[in-house]
Amino acid sequence: MRHLLFMAVLSALLGIVPQPEKVEEMKGNFRIAGATFNCEMSLDRESQNLISEFADRLAMISDRTVSFAPSPTLRSNAASGLLKGVCFLLDKDKISGEYSLEVTPKYVLVFASDFYGFTYALQTIRQLLPPAIYGTSPAPGEKWVLPCCKITDKPRFAYRGLLLDCSRHFFKVEEIYRILEIMNVYKLNRFHWHLSDDQGWRIEIKKYPMLTVAGAYRSGTQIGRERGSSDGIGYGGFYTREEIRSVVAYARKLGITIIPEIDLPGHMQAALAAYPELGCSGGPYRVRTGWGVSDQVLCPGKEETFAFIEGVMDEICDLFPSEYIHIGGDECPKTEWEKCPDCQARIAALGLTSHNGVSKEQRLQNYVTERVQKYLASKGRRIIGWDEILEGELAEGATVMSWRGTAGGIKAAAAGFDVIMSPNIYCYFDHSQSTELSKEPLGPTQNPKRAIPLEKIYSFEPLLNMEAGATSHVLGVQANLWTEYIAEPSHLEYMLLPRLLALSEVQWCNKEVRDYDRFRAEVAGHQSAILNIMGYTFRPVD
């Protein structure tokens, strides 16, 4: 323990977030401005482009010539002790995302096994430099040196996610880029894009054009917390296929995979406004103007409903290369199904009955989940669903995102399902950052106990109360930024930052390495300087 504390003190001097696994600080520094960047010829093209772009940025910011070239002799030079400059070599024994970094007065040596490891190594190097490296203007007067040190580092969890809800409020592509960029700085690697809900359908689907003609726009928006109110101002927007492809490509350059969510069979009122025949009553429906949960959901008693789902998923799979597709599954009222002749006929045909506390209508939702899961599996994809999909029967291979606390995740992992921990008591970034609610922007709750300050996020331990044999099923951790009360990019960033930094340490760091006092000091100092120069709006550390 004494050794671990010693390493934490050293790393605090270096100011890195998320905290590396092990840091050894040494005397001296390396002058990186004007240095030569080298890599092995065998590095993949993406990694070479990554290093080249970093060298170009350093040259521009430092106002010094920085060259980059693959070298056929780099490995032999390393073996002979003849290294100079900044050198990148492959180490196939490292896991994906793992890296090591050695800084001496003569050279910098980076080892990783893949593009992700080199990405995270370069982010660590950036944080060791003056904050000006994150800017857009030359800063030749800065001290462009790296402190001599040895760092070995790897992520605790493979899945390090952030959800952005663009259905309640729509954010332009440029703001999506900014969210991806700050995720990249702090080593997050999954962007969960919530693209459909009762209040708006946000993605172009060629087979179903009315989804964006009618489903992407609502007649008004709820005023504050006043249920049933509307400001009467038309609101909406959607992403074209070209915009989706550009965001996916940009995220890929940053080492981030985008996981799209099409929430079903509930949270579908915007889709029903476009195609009312897919509902139990046939409508008419309108895009919901207020928040909360709608009783109007897809009708699984009709075969055309599944034709619609499969048609949408065909285009989703075409646009997003992610292994996972999120299909929602949460908050689906069954009142319409209980009185719908088509749904009851489907229930009878399937022989579904109520038993063990699970209604036959809930088992109908299990049927929907399993059928969509099988269809996506035929296309080489896997599903993620909110923890309600555990109610009743869940088919093997599904991944559960635990949002109603951690109990659902603990139950799912014990049953052998993969899990992503996203409990609302720690990970809902639409909740206030302070218990003094009157001093914070309007949010979803008036209960100060529901506030999620920086320290509370940092205290989250994803594996708490979990049986040792089940912990391997926890893929990672995700925060969710729902936007009922967030309409502007500056407000969005304020709610995200600096809490994203606390999340990054929960996702990346082993619990033995985390220390809130060290982290808070880093955020208040070096990290705030980084956020400032990047132009983000953020809440100052108390």
Active-site residue numbers?
197, 267, 331
Q: For the chain, how many helices (H) and strands (E)? A: 19, 19
Contacts of 332 (CB under 8 A, 6+ apart): 265, 266, 267, 297, 365, 388
The 3-state DSSP class for residue 116 equals helix
CB neighbours of residue 270 within 10 Å: 28
Closest CA to 121 of 143, 149, 139, 101: 101
Kindly report whether the peptide bond that precedes residue 284 is cis, defined as omega within 30 degrees of 0: yes
The bridge status of strand 36-40 relative to strand 196-197 is unpaired
Judge whether 352 and 373 are in contact, CB under 8 Å. no
CA-CA distance, 494 to 282, in Å (whole number)?
A: 41
Please give the helix or strand (H or E) that residue 294 lies within, else none: none
Position of tokens 């009762």? 198
Please give the helix or strand (H or E) that residue 109 lies within, else none: strand 107-112
Judge whether 372 and 402 are in contact, CB under 8 Å. no
Listing DSSP states for 445-509 in one string gives ---GGG---HHHHHT--TTTT--GGGGGGEEEEEEEE--TT--SHHHHHHHHTTHHHHHHHHHHS
CA-CA distance, 370 to 390, in Å (whole number)?
A: 12
Strand partners, 87: 38, 109
Contacts of 440 (CB under 8 A, 6+ apart): 432, 433, 434
Please give the helix or strand (H or E) that residue 11 lies within, else none: helix 2-14
Strand order across the 85-90 sheet: 22-31, 145-153, 99-103, 107-112, 85-90, 36-40, 67-71
CA-CA distance, 317 to 321, in Å (whole number)?
A: 6
- C-alpha distance across the termini of the chain, in Å: 29
- Cα Rg of the chain, angstroms: 25
